[in-house]
Chain A
Amino acid sequence: MSEQTVVVAADAYDVVVSADYFQSYSVVGLLAVVGVLFVAVAFGAGRLLRPVVPTPEKLLTYECGVDPVGEGWAHTQVRYYVYAFLYVIFAIDSIFLFPWATVFAAPGYGATTLVEMFVFLGFLAVGLLYAYKKGVLAWT
Chain B
Amino acid sequence: MNDALDVTLRLLIVFVVFLTFPLLVGQTEHKVMAHMQGRLGPMYAGGFHGWAQLVADGVKFAQKEDVVPAGADRRIFQLAPAVALLPYLLVLLAIPIGPGEGAVGEVVDAGIFFVLAVMGVGVLGSLMAGWASANKFSLLGGLRTAAQLLAYELPMLLTAASVAMAAGTVSLVGILDAFEWWWLPWQIVGAIVFFVAGLAELQRPPFDMPVADSEIIFGAYTEYTGLRFALFLLAEYAGIVVLCGLTAVLFLGGWHGPWGADGLGWVWTLLKTAVLAFIVIWLRVTYPRLREDQLQKLSWTLLVPLSLAQIALTGIVKVVIQ
* Given A31-B14, A80-B147, A105-B319; A121-B135 close (CB under 8 Å): no
* Given A31-B11, A32-B90, A139-B292; A62-B71 close (CB under 8 Å): no
Return the CB mask of B299-322 against A: 1 if under 8 Å, else 0. 011001100100110011011001
> Is A3 located at the chain interface by the 8 A CB criterion?
no
Q: Contact between B7 and A121 (Cβ–Cβ < 8 Å)?
A: no
Q: Report the minimal beta-carbon distance from A127 to chain B, rounded to whole angstroms.
A: 10
Q: Contact between B150 and A83 (Cβ–Cβ < 8 Å)?
A: yes
- A74-89 contacts to B, CB under 8 A, are 74, 76, 78-80, 83-84, 86-87
A117 contact set on B, CB distance < 8 A: 311-312, 315
Q: Contact between B312 and A121 (Cβ–Cβ < 8 Å)?
A: yes
A43 contact set on B, CB distance < 8 A: 78, 227
Q: Contact between B67 and A54 (Cβ–Cβ < 8 Å)?
A: yes
CB closest chain-A residue, reference B140 = A76
B217 contact set on A, CB distance < 8 A: 62, 64
> Is A16 located at the chain interface by the 8 A CB criterion?
no
Contact among A30, A32, A114 for B319, CB-based, below 8 A: A114
Interface size on B, residues (CB 8 A): 78
Q: By DSSP majority rule, is chain A's interface helix, strand, loop, or mixed?
A: helix
Q: Report the minimal beta-carbon distance from A99 to chain B, rounded to whole angstroms.
A: 8
A contact residues, range: 35 or more
Distance, CA A138 to CA B300, complexed state (A): 10
Q: Contact between A98 and B113 (Cβ–Cβ < 8 Å)?
A: yes
> Is A90 located at the chain interface by the 8 A CB criterion?
yes
Interface residues of B (CB under 8 A from A): 7, 10-11, 14-15, 62-72, 78, 81-82, 85-86, 89-90, 93-94, 105-109, 112-114, 131, 133-140, 143, 147, 150-151, 153-154, 157-158, 161, 164-165, 168-170, 217, 222-223, 226-227, 231, 292-293, 296-297, 300-301, 304-305, 308, 311-312, 315-316, 318-319, 322
Interface residues of A (CB under 8 A from B): 20-21, 24-25, 27-28, 30-32, 34-36, 38-39, 42-43, 45-47, 49-54, 56, 58-64, 68, 71-74, 76, 78-80, 83-84, 86-87, 90-91, 94-95, 97-98, 101-107, 110-111, 113-114, 117-118, 121, 124-125, 128, 131-132, 137-139
Complex A-B: 28 CB contacts under 8 Å: A24-B108, A24-B109, A25-B108, A30-B11, A31-B15, A31-B89, A32-B86, A39-B86, A43-B227, A49-B62, A50-B63, A50-B226, A50-B227, A51-B63, A58-B67, A59-B69, A72-B139, A83-B150, A90-B304, A91-B153, A97-B157, A102-B168, A102-B170, A110-B319, A118-B312, A121-B308, A121-B311, A124-B308
